[in-house]
Structure formats: structure tokens, C-alpha cells
């Protein structure tokens, strides 16, 4: 659905040139929710702007929905929906009017029908006559989201859809994105919220001017850290660490109070042997569980490594 090859963007020239995006190569499949993660100034918005034909790349190629960037720009704009970083509503016009204008610009066949559908879907129907300027941040974001969907785009670009929202509003927007994903749309989402990326995205790309890593959140965690199993004991764990360490599949063992934290690659296959070995050595086991690294750990480690 989205295919980028060596896509680059440099602002300005000479000694003051800033490379915002450096040779980004990427494929996002149809129906996939792709999370684009990176710190402030990483070039996320610049990437979205290039892929939605708002600014021209300085190098590289891309296709969106099978259409070529730079050649089929108007067709690309017609087939994608964009939620920009700031909602950019017409504050003096009603919510309904805001959507009607965009439905016409996108040449939607049934303008009132589509406007109604999305106002209702996002819970704004009762407030449709009110000026957009009178809306709360969460409502504004939802209105902007509705605006991006009126023409039923196959690909949706969301630039930080939940930043600047309180937890409740953020959850509403997140739930809605989940719904969209069920409907088979391809979603490219920039975000700072790692929790959100972890839950919503099929794959994430960690990006800081260059693409650092792309994979599913689970694979990225494992690739960087292996997986960890925590064993809670009725006694101090210290004496049992050596037993665990002796097993061939165990990579690392830490003993903390009455807990053993064991790093290994495949808990499903290895845990039974680990448990048997510990029990044979006299361990009184209370619980065994998996200790997950948060995506945040992964992210911070990767970004730090980038300098």
C-alpha cells in the first residue's frame, strides 16, 4: 500500500541544510496499522507530508496505493486521508459545515449522508450546529478525524492522533482507530505514545532521520533483549541461580530477593525443563511468569544508541 525507496528530504542548502529524512525505505502492507515512532524533530511529519504530496522529496521514490509520488499527486491526495498535526478547523463555522466543505472538495457522492455518518460515528451529531471553535480539544480532534475519513480513503495518515488529549479523550480516539483497523484500512500513524503503538500497531518503525528498526513490537523486544521469565520462590533465590545458569538454553540469570529472573529465547519450549531443574534442586516455586520489557525500554535504548 505504501512503498518508499530511499526517500529523502533536505531543507535549505549549503552549510545550513537540514536533512530531515535520510534514505527511508519502507513497505506498509494493505490493512496494516503501521506505527512511526521517533523523538521530536525526527522527521515524522516531514515523511507524512512527502507521502501525502504536500512537499516534494529531495530524493528517492515512493508509491501510495499504487500511485507514484510526483506523477499522480492529485490522485494520491484523493485516495488518502490525512489527520494533520494540528486539527486546523474553521473555527467560525459549524462542525457540519466544516465537514460539508471537505466532502465537496473530495467530490464525495452523497455529501449529507457521509457527513451524517461520521458525525454520528464520532458522537458529534448532537453538536453539529455548534461552531467548531467552541469544541474541546478531544472533540476537535474527532472532527478532524471525521474530516479525514469522509471520502472513505484506503490509506489513512495520522500524525500524532492522541497527543494533546487527556487520557479519556485519547482513549476514545484510540478505540476509534481500533475500529478503523477492523474495517481493513491501511493506517500510517506517527506517535510518541509507546503504549498506544504497542497496542494498536501491527508493526512499528523506529525512526530518527533514518529508519533504525522495523518489526512487530513483540519481535523488536525479543530481538533486543531476548525474553525473560520470572520465578517466584518461597525461599531466597540466591542459591538456585547457579542451577538455572547450568542449563544450556539460559542466557542470563539474576537473583533478586526471592525471585529469579531468567533470560532465554523460547519460554514456551524451555520453561518446563527450567522448572523441573529448579524443583529437583529443592526450589519451592510459587509462580512462574513472563517479564515483559516495555516498548519504552526498547525505544529509549535504540534512540540513545543513535546519539
Partner 1 sequence: MNLQRIRTVIAKEWAEVFKNKLVLFTVGFLPLVFTALPLGILYATRGDPEQMASEMSDLPAQFMALCGDISASECMQVFILNQFLLLFMMMPLIIPISIAAYSIVGEKTTHSLEPLLATPISTVELLTAKSLAAAIPAVLATWLGFAIFVVGAPLVSTGPSVLRYILGPMWLLAVFGLGPLMAIMAVNFAIMVSSRVTDPRVAEQMAAVIIVPLLAIMFAQIGGLLVLNLTFMLIAAVVLLVADAALIVVGARLFQRETILTKWK
Ligand X SMILES: Nc1ncnc2c1ncn2[C@@H]1O[C@H](COP(=O)(O)OP(=O)(O)OP(=O)(O)O)[C@@H](O)[C@H]1O
**For ligand X, which residue of 4, 35, 37, 43 counts as binding (CB under 6 A)?**
43
The residue to which cell 534514505 is assigned: 23
273 is a contact residue toward partner 1 (CB under 8 A):
no
Q: By rule CB under 8 A, what count of residues binds partner 1?
A: 32
What's the min distance (Å) between Cβ of 55 and ligand X?
8
Q: Which is nearer to ligand X, 118 or 188 (CB)?
A: 188
Q: Does 144 bind partner 1 (CB under 8 A)?
A: yes
Q: How far apart are the first and last CA of the chain?
A: 32
- Return the range that interacts with ligand X (CB under 6 A); candidates 34-42, 105-113, 136-144, 288-296: 34-42
Q: Which is nearer to partner 1, 108 or 201 (CB)?
A: 108
Which residues, in sequence order, are CB contacts of 246 under 8 Å at separation 6+?
277
Q: Is 48 exposed, middle or buried (0-12, 13-18, 19+ CB in 10 A)?
A: buried
Q: Which three cell numbers stand for residue 286?
A: 510459587
The three cell numbers locating residue 41: 524533530
Supply the minimum distance, in Å, between the C-beta of residue 222 and ligand X. Answer: 26
> Within positions 71 to 100, which residues make up the interface with ligand X, using CB under 6 A?
85
The torsion angle over the Cα atoms of residues 24, 29, 32 and 33, rounded to 10 degrees, is: 10
CB of 40 vs ligand X, minimal distance in Å: 4
Cα–Cα nearest to 144, from 118, 174, 120: 118
Q: Is residue 205 a contact residue for ligand X (CB under 6 A)?
A: no
* Closest distance of CB 17 from ligand X, Å: 9
Min. distance of Cβ 37 from partner 1 in angstroms? 22
Q: How far apart are CA 229 and CA 236, in angstroms?
A: 17
CA dihedral 136, 115, 65, 12 (to 10 degrees): -40
DSSP conformation class of 94: B
Residue 295 and residue 229: Cα distance in Å, rounded? 17
Number of helical (H) and strand (E) elements in the chain, helices listed first: 11, 14
How are the residues of the chain apportioned to helix, strand and coil, as percentages rounded to the nearest 5?
40, 30, 30
Query: Between 22 and 51, how does the x/- string for binding to partner 1 read (CB under 8 A)?
Result: ---------------------------x--
Residue 104 or residue 251: which is nearer to partner 1 going by CB? 104
Of positions 1, 42, 122, 156, contacts ligand X by CB under 6 A: 42
Interface ranges with ligand X (CB under 6 A): 11, 18, 20, 38, 40-46, 85
Question: Which chain residues interact with partner 1 by CB under 8 A?
Answer: 11, 49, 52-56, 74-75, 77-78, 80, 82, 84, 86-93, 97, 101-102, 104-107, 144, 147-148
Amino acid at each position: 500500500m505504501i512503498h518508499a525507496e530511499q526517500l529523502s528530504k533536505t531543507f535549505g542548502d549549503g552549510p545550513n541544510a537540514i536533512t530531515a529524512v535520510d534514505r527511508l525505505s519502507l513497505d506498509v502492507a494493505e490493512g496494516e496499522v503501521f506505527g512511526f515512532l521517533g523523538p521530536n524533530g525526527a522527521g515524522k511529519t516531514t515523511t507524512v507530508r512527502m507521502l501525502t504530496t504536500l512537499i516534494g522529496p529531495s530524493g528517492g521514490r515512493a508509491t501510495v496505493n499504487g500511485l507514484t509520488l510526483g506523477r499522480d499527486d492529485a490522485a494520491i491526495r484523493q485516495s488518502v486521508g490525512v489527520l494533520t498535526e494540528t486539527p486546523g478547523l474553521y473555527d467560525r463555522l459549524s462542525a457540519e459545515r466544516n465537514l460539508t466543505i471537505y466532502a465537496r472538495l473530495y467530490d464525495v457522492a452523497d455529501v449529507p449522508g457521509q457527513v451524517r455518518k461520521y458525525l454520528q460515528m464520532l458522537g458529534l451529531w448532537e453538536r453539529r450546529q455548534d461552531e467548531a471553535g467552541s469544541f474541546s480539544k478531544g472533540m476537535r480532534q474527532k472532527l478532524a478525524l471525521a474530516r479525514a475519513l469522509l471520502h472513505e480513503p484506503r490509506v489513512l495518515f495520522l500524525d500524532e492522533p492522541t497527543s494533546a488529549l487527556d487520557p479519556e479523550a485519547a482513549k476514545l480516539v484510540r478505540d476509534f482507530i481500533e475500529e478503523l483497523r477492523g474495517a481493513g484500512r491501511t493506517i500510517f500513524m506517527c506517535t510518541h505514545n509507546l503504549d498506544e503503538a504497542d497496542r494498536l500497531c501491527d508493526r512499528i518503525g523506529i525512526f530518527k532521520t533514518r529508519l533504525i528498526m522495523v518489526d512487530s513490537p513483540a519481535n523488536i523486544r525479543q530481538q533486543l533483549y531476548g525474553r525473560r521469565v520470572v520465578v517466584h520462590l518461597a525461599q531466597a533465590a540466591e542459591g538456585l541461580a547457579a542451577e538455572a545458569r547450568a542449563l544450556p538454553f539460559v542466557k542470563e540469570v539474576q537473583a533478586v530477593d526471592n525471585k529469579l529472573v531468567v533470560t532465554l529465547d523460547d519460554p514456551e519450549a524451555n520453561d518446563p525443563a527450567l522448572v523441573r531443574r529448579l524443583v529437583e534442586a529443592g526450589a519451592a516455586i510459587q509462580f512462574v511468569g513472563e517479564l515483559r520489557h516495555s516498548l519504552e525500554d526498547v525505544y529509549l535504548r535504540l534512540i540513545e544508541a543513535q546519539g
